[in-house]
């Protein structure tokens, strides 16, 4: 079975291609010749995930999944959440986002946080969603150079180091994205068209 992963983020593709699955082959947008910036205009991860998968489904009419992820920090009332990519404002980069996060948490007693991923799958004209959560905490400074996004400042529960000090196999032992995608894989393995 062919399935398209609706993302332009090469790190996400790498992480997901590391997971083992049967029955289907994952194609990236690049591999199916689609070069568009998919909008993320909504105020929930769920709605943004749906937006991404339905945009690509309308273009291809093929089975497609997407995911949207946010970093939810307890002491910040769940921020940056759905705005994780643009926390420091439009046009700012990831370093700006991390600087803002560490600044906002400077005097906060709790640094508890979680990554939350919502996967949206459209297959046979129907949508299904899967969620994965990874609990952990935010460090006081950046540490490590692997991965992407907020990885240098996030330590998952059960580890004593940041995601950015792990290779993909190690990160996938904890990862929010892995948990959501594993549900997707289980669903697809059982799926009868
Ligand atoms: P999106 O799902 O691509 O919209 O990601 C939202 C923001 O969260 C971006 O700034 C990403 O860099 C960041 N992000 C998403 N997944 C991860 C992850 O697994 N580790 C660290 N940061 C992530």
Q: What is the pLDDT of residues 66-101, one digit of tens each?
A: 999 999 999 999 999 999 999 999 999 999 999 999
Q: Determine the atom of ligand 1 nearest the C-alpha atom of 86.
A: 10
CATH class of 2-192: alpha beta
Whether 177 is in the pocket of ligand 1, judged by its Cβ within 6 Å, is yes
Domain ranges of the chain: 2-192
Active-site entry in 35, 43, 68, 96: 68
Q: What is the pTM of this model?
A: 0.96
Query: According to the model, what pLDDT value does residue 148 have?
Result: 97
How far apart CA 12 and CA 192 sit, in angstroms, is 27
CA-to-CA distance for 44 and 41, rounded, in angstroms?
A: 9
User: How much is the average pLDDT of 6-11?
Assistant: 92
């Amino acid at each position: 079975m062919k399935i398209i992963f609706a993302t332009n983020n090469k790190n996400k593709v790498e992480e997901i291609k590391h997971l083992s699955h049967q029955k289907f082959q994952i194609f990236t947008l690049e591999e199916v010749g689609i070069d568009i910036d998919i909008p993320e205009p909504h105020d929930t991860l769920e709605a943004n995930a749906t937006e991404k998968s339905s945009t690509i489904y309308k273009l291809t009419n093929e089975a497609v999944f997407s995911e949207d992820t946010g970093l939810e920090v307890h002491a910040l009332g769940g921020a940056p959440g759905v705005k994780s990519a643009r926390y420091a404002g439009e046009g700012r980069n990831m370093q700006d986002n991390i600087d803002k996060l560490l600044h906002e948490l400077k005097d906060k007693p709790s640094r508890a946080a979680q990554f939350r991923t919502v996967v949206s799958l459209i297959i046979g004209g129907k949508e299904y969603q899967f969620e994965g959560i990874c609990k952990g905490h935010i460090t006081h400074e950046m540490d490590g150079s692997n991965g992407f996004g907020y990885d240098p400042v996030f330590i998952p529960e059960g580890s004593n180091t940041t995601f950015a000090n792990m290779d993909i196999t190690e990160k996938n032992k904890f990862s929010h994205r892995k948990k959501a995608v594993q549900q997707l894989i289980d669903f697809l393995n059982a799926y009868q068209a």
